[in-house]
Amino acid sequence: MTTLTSAERHLIDIAADQPMLAQVERWAAINSGTRNLGGLAAVAIELADAFSVLPGELTLVEATPVEAVTNDGSIALLDHGKHLHLRVRPEAPVRILLTGHMDTVFPVDHPFQTLEHRPDGTINGPGVADMKSGLALMLAALIALEGSPVAARIGYDVLINSDEETGSLSSAPLIAEAAQGKIAALTYEPALPDGTLAGARGGTGNFSIIVRGRSAHAGRNPDDGRNALVAAADIALQLTMARSPTLSVNPARIDGGGPNNVVPDLAILRVNFRPASQDEITRARAHIGAVVAAAAERHDVNITVHGGFNRPPKPIDPGAAKLFALVKEAGSDLGLDIAWRATGGVCDGNNIAACGVPVVDTMGARGGAIHSADEFLLVDSLAERAALSALTIMRIAERGHL
């Protein structure tokens, strides 16, 4: 533990004094489910107004539509909300990336829409932890940084996307572009309630496997049909044979079928893979190919595979280890015991690490039960984590390296 300098203490005081709780309440009151384009537009305007107090060029970037397989087996283009991108001092000698997302998993018709302050010092509400609070404390840290003597030494990009909860398929190119030339990145997914951060992460891949068979009368001439539903179920079972301690396979849904007296001629299997390494991605791809080819022949059906591995695994490499050490040191000087552990979850930290940039991706507030109606934020962690971010960024600026 080192003694904080007067400049560091002033930085921390400024960060902690920002109106983070009011911002969380305001932003979380607006439904911003990934598919709620109106809600996302409203939140984007709120965020643009809030982040406009920082210097630099702020833009709301039109999102690239993303292909998706519909329940009738056709390919549709899905629109997404605009992504916020702020670029500050791109000419600075030290440059970092800060990312977050404005979308939540709760659609506009979900019953979980309101906030509740609880006697235990938490707030229950949609997106309060994941991650409206992370955006608020990120902003607080940057406001404090701008008033510090090292501000001129560091440049940064802020990227807040609208599609993280569905895989960042629209924003992935923006993340990759913003990561270029950065020595480090901080992402504002929530920390665990006890403050533990996510370390190594596995990867993820989502696939829609379209099976087209042949319809026939289920009683009069069933053998003339080719049952797409049976073939899809067979594929699901065969895909699970690839499971290992470092690869999970989750057939999640089969769309298709119809009346009981008709052999179904269409089924779409939705399946998720979670590889812990690049080798497992290679093995999974080979397994998918072999299973699909065998099923097409065995069931006499046509099969099309749509999707891919959109987020590679994120190991703790030497660069990431250095950044974690810097965050841990800053936490220690603030009286916080910063620890981390591996997780099977994925986020934009995976995308950033794939660009070769060290990233700590749970710099947000402490909270829990995310993606459920029990989601909560520990209110006292707002000032605590804003201070941690501000001090971490200041020290990166001072040192010029990790």
Partners of 75 in beta bridges: 69
Sign of CA dihedral 102, 187, 352, 284: negative
Question: Does 89 lie in the same domain as 46?
Answer: yes
Residue 190 belongs to what domain range? 6-69+78-201+314-399
For 238, the token pair is 């065969």
pLDDT by residue (tens digit) across 92-132? 999 999 999 999 999 999 999 999 999 999 999 999 999 99
* Cα of 110 vs its chain's centroid, Å: 20
Domain match, 250 and 343 both = no
Q: Looking at the predicted structure, is the pLDDT value of residue 348 above 90?
A: yes
Q: Report whether pLDDT(1) > 90.
A: no
Q: How many other CB atoms sit within 10 Å of the CB of residue 335?
A: 9
Across 74-85, average pLDDT: 97
Residue 3, pLDDT above cutoff 90: no
* CATH number assigned to the domain comprising residue 264: 3.30.70.360
Task: Please count the other Cβ atoms lying within 10 Å of the Cβ belonging to residue 273.
Answer: 26
Place of tokens 């999970």: 248
What distance in Å separates the CA atoms of residue 31 and residue 46, rounded to the nearest whole number?
13
Q: Evaluate if residue 72 carries a pLDDT over 90.
A: yes
Domain stops at, among 311, 333, 360: 311
User: Would residue 1 count as lying in a domain?
Assistant: no
Closest CA to 213 of 331, 295, 110: 295
Kindly report, residue by residue over 232-284, the tens digit of the pLDDT.
999 999 999 999 999 999 999 999 999 999 999 999 999 999 999 999 999 99
Q: What is the pLDDT of residue 336?
A: 97
* 274 token code pair: 């979670």
pLDDT score at 2: 74
Domain count, the chain: 2
Q: Which two tokens stand for residue 156?
A: 């940064």
Q: Check which CATH number belongs to the domain holding 48 and give it.
A: 3.40.630.10
Of 230, 211, 214, the residue nearest 293 (C-alpha): 211
